[in-house]
Structures are given as structure tokens and as C-alpha cells.
Amino acid sequence: MTSSAIVPHPIEPIAARPTDAKLAAAFLNSLSDYGARLHGRRIWLACSGGRDSLALAALCVQLYRQGKLPFLPQLLHVDHRLQADSHHWSMHVAQWAQKQQLPCHVLQAQVNGHDEQAARQARYDVIRAHMNQDDVLLLAHHADDQAETVLMRLIQGAGVNGLSGIQPWRVQTQGAHRIILWRPWLTVQRADISAYATRLQLPYIDDPTNETGDNVRSGLRRDIMPMLAEYNPNVIDNIARSAQLLSDAEATVRAQAIQDVEQTAIGSLQLSSAQRVLDIDKLAALPLHRQRQLLHHWLGQDEPLPPAKQLIDDVIQLSQRCDHDHQTELFWQGRKQSYTIRRYRQQLYRLSSDWLKWLKMPLTEQVELNCNLNLVPDVAATKSTLVSLRMSPDFMWQLHVTPNVLAQLSDHNSNSKNGETATKQVLKIAPLNRQQRIQTRQASSPQSGKKLYQTLGIPLWLRESLVVVSVALENEARNEKIASEPAKEIPILLLSPFESWHLSSADLSSQLTESLLSELVNSHLRIQ
């Protein structure tokens, strides 16, 4: 097994060889900062086999054998299969790890594309899938990487968050899965790592694409950084220091933005990443710079990368409009999913594309549940039924219905005096028909369609997600004339995924109290 990219040093144990005082001090200082967070977590080390990651693995072995490191990380090497020699590289890393008595796992990645970003995404995806919840991944990023990142983001017009650079400790989430990225070497330079690797005679993989790539980072590394170093030899350390100062400033700005979002968000209308809602009046009361930071956090809180400044400016303009045009839509393609930003009255909505698709799905057709009037109240209250109104792999809207609660309505609990008739109650649940006229307890008269939607303040995208709960009173009698009378259907409750409205009825409104309706129907909306 040979590869021209592998530095031709023999694979030998390195534990007893001298460590590098500067690299060791940086690692141990970072360990001191984050050591308390490491308790009980499994530690992995992403090792491409290149100079930086192999040097970090070597230092961990040395510090562990010296008793200065309380754990020995397990190596994770990803074979992207983009290079002809990638299989040889995987075998080389595994053999080096075996010689150091270091656990190593080789993972296979499927890259969708041929650029560096696609390879990076595939690498993180396969590593994340291998790691358990709250595991820690050691990464060998250093001060040169930090300087290149800050310059690259400066060229791209990043704000305080982007210019704060790479963070030494960052929680990364994808759905419910959470891992931690730990970078203990952000204060040391590439030259120090290179000298250490040379002294240890590490047989690292010198991937030629690192220097000859045509991406922005490779260009900065090859062409710009050497020129800046001619102007100021301390440029790397200075940029790293600026990144740290900006990181501190960003933490202050973020804390204020989080507080502003909490005070501005409408909690009753939130559904995690699917639907987030702001009160425009409260937003407008803030100074403009805090509005921008609030929207920056609010829009991007479920995404790994923040929104562009242009989008934030467009959202501010949308929130400041004085007309009544509620058709305007702003679109944002995030890394995880796409979003639509809309306004309805004095509310600002950020809606995920998956959520909007779900809202267009048909609701369950009419469901009928018979009520047993012969049950005593204590028994009646325990008999519940689960009704699914709309389901998908992403979202679920269900009702917990206890139809026998209606047995507590005294007017319909007993048979007639002559024993000829009895009233049978059927609970019906069905989508609201646009022509159906209903009257909420706050309204003076029945309404339907657009007038009803406007009265209740229901946005356009939620108007096909309204459900009416009704009680049908059917006569059971020996007398054919009475039995042939049509059932009387009385609407008692209107439901949306987020709200409910009690309906007015001359027949039942005096008996259907707030508490009784809450016992009768309980709505549940959740993300799967």
C-alpha cells in the first residue's frame, strides 16, 4: 500500500516522544475551560489523516500516556471516495491508530457534488449519524483557519456573528440530535503544528487540493495571507484576537436579541420551527438597531447560517407597511428548509415550507361519536376517544374527545314522562364549510366565510384548517311521527390548530360551560 500524498515516515509509536509545550498548553487550557462539560460524554476526534488532525491525535496520545489527559478519544476517519487514493488513506489512518493503541472507525460518505462544501456536508452528516446524543467531536482547527474564516466572511459582508469566527465550543443540532464541536487549538498557528509534526516524523497525508483548490479559502491561504504577513508578521494572532473580541460582543448582542424575541413573540401561536410569530406593535416599539438584531435571531434561530441583511431589511419594511394588503410574501431558502415570511394584521409569521404543505392537506371527513346517557358522571368522564384530524410524517393534529361528558347535561339526560321518547346525542366533528353560519359567544349574530374569518382574525393559510364540533339531538321513539323528525344539529365549538372558540346556541349554551367544553374536547398539535 503506497500513496504519493503520504509523507514517507514509518508508522511508529509516538507516546514516548517529546511533546510540544505550546500545543500542549493550548490544549490543556481549553480542557480547563470546558472540562466540566466533558463529564459523562464520549469523546471523538475527526481525523482526516492530514497534518493538523494527525498531530492533534498524537498529542492526545502523549498527554493521555503522561496522565495529563483523563480520556483517550476515538478517531473518526471519513472516506469521501473523491480521490483515487482515498481507500489507501483510510487504511493508512487505521494502521497508524492501531500502532498508537488508539480506537479508530472508518466511515464511508456519499458526496452529492464535487466541491469542498459538498464534501464537508457529507463528512459532517456521516460523523453525526455515528455519534450519540451529546457526544463531543474534537477538531484540529487552528489560528490560521480562524484568520482565513474571518477574512472570508468579511469579504462576504458578514455581521458581528460571522466576524466572530470559529467558536472553540459549539453545540450543533439537527432535529432532536445534538453533538458538541470542540476546537482546542484556535490559539495556535499552523507553523507550530507543522514543526511538531516534523519533529515527531508523523506520516501524515499531504492532500494537494488543500493548496491548489479554486475556492475562496484556498485563495486566501495561498495568495492573501502571505501578503498580509509582509505588512504585519502578527497578522494571524491579531485577527484571532479580533475574532475573540467580536465573539464577546456578539454574545452581548445575542443575549439582548433573545430577550427581545421572548418579549415580542406570541407564544400561543408558536409551533417550534414550523411557525414562529411576532407582535408587530412590540417590535416597532424597539429602536431600529434592536429590531434588526431581533429579526436576525428570530429568522435564523433554527438554521446553522443566518439570513442575509437584505432579507432583514425587507422584513422590517413589511412590518412597517400601513396598507391592508396581506398577500405579500417573502421567501428564504435556509440550509435545513425553506421559509415564507408573511404578515397578517399586526402579526409577523415565519412559516416553514413543510408546515404550509401540511396546512393544505385535507382534514378528516366527518366523525360521529355516540354519547351514552346512561353512564353516571364519574364513569362518563373516563371514556375518551382519540380523533385524528390531519396527520403526516411531520405533523399531527388530534383531539382527545370525551363524548359522554354530555351525559351531564340535565335537560337531555332523562326519558320523557310517558316513556314514549328519549333523546340520543351524537357528537359530530367535521371541517368548517365556508357557507356554514356559526355564532361565537362574543358575536351578536351568526357569520360565515370571509366575514367570520375577519372577525376571528384567522390568517389566509389557516382558513382551511377549521373544525366544527356539533351535538346532534336525535329522537328515539315508538311513535313513528316523532321518530321521523330530522336530527337537530347544534354547533358548540370551533377549532383551529392553535385556538378554539365557544359557539352560542339557544339550546345548549346555558349548560355548556367553559370547563365542560374543556373536558369534552382537548386539542393537541405537535411535530412528529
- Please enumerate, by residue number, every residue annotated as part of a binding site: 48-53
Decide: 93 and 77 in contact? Cβ < 8 Å.
Answer: yes
- Binding site residues for ATP, as ranges? 48-53
408, three cell numbers: 351531564
Q: What is the 3-state secondary structure (H, E, C) of 139-207?
A: CCCCHHHHHHHHHHHHHCCCCHHHHCCCCCEEEEEECCEEEEEECCCCCCCHHHHHHHHHHHCCCCECC
Helix (H) or strand (E) holding 302: none
Quote the strand ranges of 440-479, DSSP E.
467-477
| Residues comprising the chain, all counted | 528
445, three cell numbers: 349574530
Residue 337's contacts (CB-CB under 8 Å, 6 or more residues apart) are 273, 352, 353, 354
Task: Using alpha carbons, select from 374, 383, 367 the residue that is nearest to residue 408.
Answer: 374
CA distance 137 to 464: 46
**What sign does the CA torsion over 249, 255, 258, 262 have?**
negative
- Alpha carbon of 161 to those of 220, 248, 261, 304, 314: distances in Å? 21, 10, 17, 12, 20
Q: What is the 3-state secondary structure (H, E, C) of 21-80?
A: HHHHHHHHHHHHHHHHHHCCCCEEEECCCCHHHHHHHHHHHHHHHCCCCCCCCEEEEEEC
